[in-house]
Chains A and B, each alone.
Chain A
Amino acid sequence: KMVTRAVAALSRFTIRARCILFAARSHVNCEIKGDVAVIRISDPNSKVNTLSLQMQKEMTEVMDEVWGNSAIKCVVMISSKPGCFIAGADINMIQACKSTEEVTRLSQEGQKIFEKIEKSPKPIVAAINGSCLGGGLEFAIACQYRVATKSKTTVLGTPEVMLGLLPGAGGTQRLPKMIGLPNAFDMMLTGRNIRADKAKKMGLVHQLVDTLGPGLKSPEERTIEYLEEVAIDCARGIVNKKLALTKEMNMMQKIQDHVMSYSFVQNRIYSTVEKKVLKQTKGLYPAPMKIIECVKAGMEQGPDAGYLAESQNFGKLAMTPESKALVGLYHGQVACKKNRFGVPEKEVKTLAILGAGLIGAGIAQVTVEKSINTILKDITEEALNQGQHQVYKGLNDKTKKKSITSFERDSILSNLTGQLDYSGFEKADMVIEAVFEDLAIKHKVLKEVEAVIPPNCVFASNTAALAIKDIAAASKRPEKVVGMHYFSPVDKMQLLEIITTDKTSKDTTASAVALGLKQGKVVIVVGDGPGFYTTRCLAPMLAEAVRVLQEGVDPKKLDSLTTGFGFPVGAATLADKLGIDVAAHMAENLGKAFGSRFGGGNLELLKTMVAKGFKGRKSGKGFYVYQSGLKDINPELKEIVESYNMMPTPAVSSDSDVQYRLISRFVNEAVLCLQEGILTNPVEGDIGAVFGLGFPPFLGGPFRFVDNFGADKLVEKMKTFEEVFGNQFTPCQLLLDHAKDPSRKFHRLIH
């Protein structure tokens, strides 16, 4: 018995040794464990695995060897990277293509590889730990069996739609069959990530494996090993017919499947989904409709037609400006998740926030979630109570959605201290003030705070419009003063705009950026000036919106014009959300700073509204009336607007003209910010506009918009408007430069 074991061990050793000899490959490695081939994926040059050309080449080689080796009965496919199975196709690979045909070919090659995987005579078990997205998911669902860890990092999804693409390697064909039309559409059209437990329920994976804690190795390492052990058992179980590949369905599922098999039911689904998509995208995003088209082709005309439609549409989509804009945003977002100011000398371990209002409490929530001690200070118990409740509610909602346990919620909340005095500020590494937007008040708190904080503590001001240097004027240490402009609601809005003055030290900036990134924000860093970047772009657009209202367009129409252009929220609704008082305050301040360029609409209109108590959403009335979840046009608005009535000029008042009047003022101001050095680069400009202000994502941001639309065409339009309205539409010099020379682009051309 002993001898046989020794021989077995020896032969295993030699096989392993042989395998290592083979492994001149860098991305894919194969270990043969008896009758199981364990294929391990790891891209040596990246934190994540992508289906790059190299990966595909090595995978094909390895699979050919596996299929050719009669000693191998089954296969386990696993990543040796913690936290990532395969994160998707290599975006650069798609970007490198110059034509629709080239991308289509890429898709077809992927389809072919996965078809071979699907038809493998030897069962392949995908062992999934970490992100399994896009092409990675398509790979996994081509395998015969899927085992996934319950880790929080394990997510499955098809995010292609967010890049203006579709799952182009069989996803549109396999997913509907595997999880049914409704679930497949949900996944492919929203691009959302599915957690492992949900994936199991949906039938996307067959088995779940627990994550492991400390043992004789690190938890991450041992969890992957354990996943592999379980996957090997599964693979052998399939070979021995001990494990069924099709899950037994319960009665409900059987009925559902039966109902779904009728073509009229399917057609009903298609039309419902199409309607919903059109309503949400306003027809501005081509990818969702193409996804529906591919699914339909496969279901109605069979796999050949389905796969062909998929590869061709993938090719077409990759060449659309929408996809390029979205891919650009993706890259921009990645760039804005890095700290270009380096590692700060001191990590923020205690943060103090002044003002427990919406913003202050929102900042508190995203901070405590990262286990940073957070002091939330206000001056009245009532305000403090409300702020603390907001943090609790934000976390409790997560508990209700089961993304955190009640215990985790409590433990997160224990990082929060609510108080009315300055005790504990001597330990603060950073203070963010989110008090009322009034320079005198800001000066008052700055002085109070500087009297109690340690010398290395950063003072950050959350303001939407006040210049940071004016606030810093009251400081004893202006190098420690920085602006941090959060967007409301802070826990939902991804952007953080950081404002530096010429006195702000590099370490102060690094510290602010580091905190923002830790809070999960996409961070842009801009120069100081009235309205910085985001507010400054928004103000002229809102001024124009007011003028449009004065010209007799009602708020609903205004909203539909703006959302029709691709903004997620209409201009009137946005102003209500922002607060009419805030908008008026902002318009007045910026009007003083920039003069008539920021004119257009009559500021008095907003002021009258405020005087009547129409402060927007928060007061229940603004442009709209908000009552029990419904919103209707404020009936008293008409009277106010009429008193500021303006005659529209027909030549510049078509729907399209109105849209371009709004957008061109936004874009021109953005370009001017780059010209004046408020912005360091166009990437941050695009990211700021899209993530902070809802600039239409499919346009990729104001700079990408100018590149694609043509600076010359935009200038032409602006000049027409200029003739009627004056300097509010005077194109800035940089825009004129671009108009003059069509080869000048803000972004490097992506073919």
Chain B
Amino acid sequence: MEVDRLLGSGKLGKPFWGGNTCAEFKVQLLWLPFSSSKSKKTLSKTGVKNIVLVDGVRTPFLQSGTTYADLMPHDLARTALQGLLNRTGIPKDAVDYIIYGTVIQEVKTSNVAREAALGAGFSDRIPAHTVTMACISSNQAMTTAVGMIAAGQCDAVVAGGVEFMSDVPIRHSRKMRKTMLSLNKAKTLGARLALLGSIRPAHLAPELPAVAEFSTEETMGHSADRLAAAFGVSRREQDEYALRSHSLAKRAQDEGLLSDVVGFKVPGKDIVSKDNGIRPSSMEQMAKLKPAFVKPHGTVTAANSSYLTDGASAVLIMSEEKALALGYKPKAYLRDFVYVSQDPKDQLLLGPSYATPKVLERSGLKLADIDVFEFHEAFAGQILSNLKAMDSDWFAKTYMGRTSKVGSPPLDKFNLWGGSLSLGHPFGATGCRLVTTVAHRLKKEGGQYGLVAACAAGGQGHAMVIEAYPQ
């Protein structure tokens, strides 16, 4: 009871714990196993293939500019693939296809899936492609895999995601690029010199990639701050939520629950075996930070946002028959999924609010049926706004054309092993982490249904229902 109360009964508006210090908080977060006497129906549908998650792994997620700094994206992806091979022991030629998700592309390895697969020792006869859908890129990789299997075209697909923010393509200015390209075509020395002479200091200013919407030119943090303001989410609530995320992640890390992490011997550096961005702080410390985007009165700060992260993930997805034939004990069924999209300006990060009721409806479930929630935490303010949106009849009616709210996920089932705020958020890799975590938590907590939901740039969103594989 005590834990239930402390983790919050899912009601927002009130702080879910009384602003205690972190130490107190941790002591009170004792693990209480849920009763495993659930006997809900399976979501298996006749005529639809059962598709399973065999296993999932990821590299440690590191703050960008740290130990991975000198690598390239495909190095991380390759490590995740190798980790998956080791973990599952799958014969390299038993995989039919490889799909990777990524957001900021290294131009040299634009099909990073292929480059990583070749280096990971997969047969060069396995085709690979790369998808991109902002923060739900690896979700897209996984659902593409599900689609291929459901269509009977493949039996075993590796899906994954990678993001490498330690190095991003910084380009010459458009004017400079144009001059340089013309230089290639210039025939005479005179023409070349004329072109070189046309270069002005302004040409030399580089173009930096920004985490901003192309359509609205607004940075995501700015949008998150406006979203939090729109839903009346206070700075304190956001800081409390961020602290919760870090505290839970720390506990999960300490208790060894983050078993999807595979160690990585970084060439020339130490072995990395842990996420390095988990930093439970205190409310006092966090309160000192200035707003990062909306100045001076904003509420989104560096401490209550996810940070730039390097990392990769991979999952092995199969048809149930194939998995069983190969002798696997799958971890979970991947069931219904949806993609949604809304106004990229004012509803940029509300994807989970739109996707959750839709996917539950598809599965014939209610929010109360879900045992494990794993939502992507882009910003504390974004998570809390989504929770408020899902708990609002007015929002459901006015913006989603629904008759009533879907309800807010209870916090005692919500992101209990930390989230993107604390574990880190390599854009393209987060989706696989969410799905693998749901599978692991369902097993650990004895639940039957899990729900993954995430928002993404472009005003898009995704949700997927996952069912525990019978024990």
Contacts and interface: CB of A to CB of B under 8 A. Distances in A.
Interface of A: 207, 209-219, 222, 226, 230, 233, 405, 407
B294 A215 contact: no
Interface in B108-161: none
Contact of B346 (A213, A216, A407): A213
B328 interface: no
B16 interface: no
Given A219-B230, A405-B216, A214 B399 contact: yes
B214 interface: yes
B297 A222 contact: no
Nearest to B388: A216
Contacts of A215: 227, 229-232, 385, 388-389, 395
B179 interface: no
B345 A216 contact: no
B394 interface: yes
Contact of B347 (A210, A213, A217, A407): A213
B424 to A, nearest CB: 28
Contacts of A211: 226
B451 to A, nearest CB: 23
A659 B274 CA distance: 89
A407 B297 CA distance: 28
Interface string B387-402: 0110010110011000
A405 to B, nearest CB: 6
Contacts of B350: 214
Contacts of A212: 226, 229-230, 346
Contacts of B217: 405, 407
B389 to A, nearest CB: 8
A207 B398 CA distance: 31
Contacts of A209: 297
Interface in B201-237: 214-217, 222, 225-227, 229-232
Given A213-B343, A213-B346, 12 more contacts: A210-B226, A212-B346, A213-B226, A213-B227, A213-B345, A214-B346, A215-B232, A218-B398, A222-B230, A230-B297, A405-B216, A405-B217
Contacts of B389: 215-216
Contacts of B398: 214, 218
Interface string B371-395: 0000000000000010011001011
A216 B231 contact: yes
Interface residues of B, number: 28
A245 B350 CA distance: 38
Contacts of A207: 296-297
10 contacts: A210-B225, A214-B347, A214-B395, A215-B229, A215-B388, A216-B389, A222-B229, A226-B230, A405-B217, A407-B214
Greatest chain B CB density within 10 A among A210, A211, A212, A215 is at: A215
Contacts of A226: 229-230
A210 B230 CA distance: 10
Contacts of B214: 407
Interface string B331-353: 00000000000010111001000
A222 B392 CA distance: 15
A213 B227 CA distance: 7
A405 B216 CA distance: 7
A8 B47 CA distance: 63
B320 to A, nearest CB: 41
A1 B454 CA distance: 39
Nearest to A222: B230
A214 B227 CA distance: 8
A213 B214 CA distance: 18
Nearest to A218: B398
A218 B398 CA distance: 9
Contact of A216 (B226, B296, B297, B395): B395
A219 B232 contact: no
A216 B394 contact: yes
A708 B199 CA distance: 63
Interface string B274-314: 00000000000000000000101100000000000000000
Contacts of A216: 230-232, 388-389, 392, 394-395
B169 to A, nearest CB: 22
Question: Which 6 residue pairs spanning A and B have beta carbons closest together?
Answer: A213-B346, A215-B230, A212-B230, A407-B215, A215-B231, A230-B297
Nearest to A212: B230
A214 B399 CA distance: 8
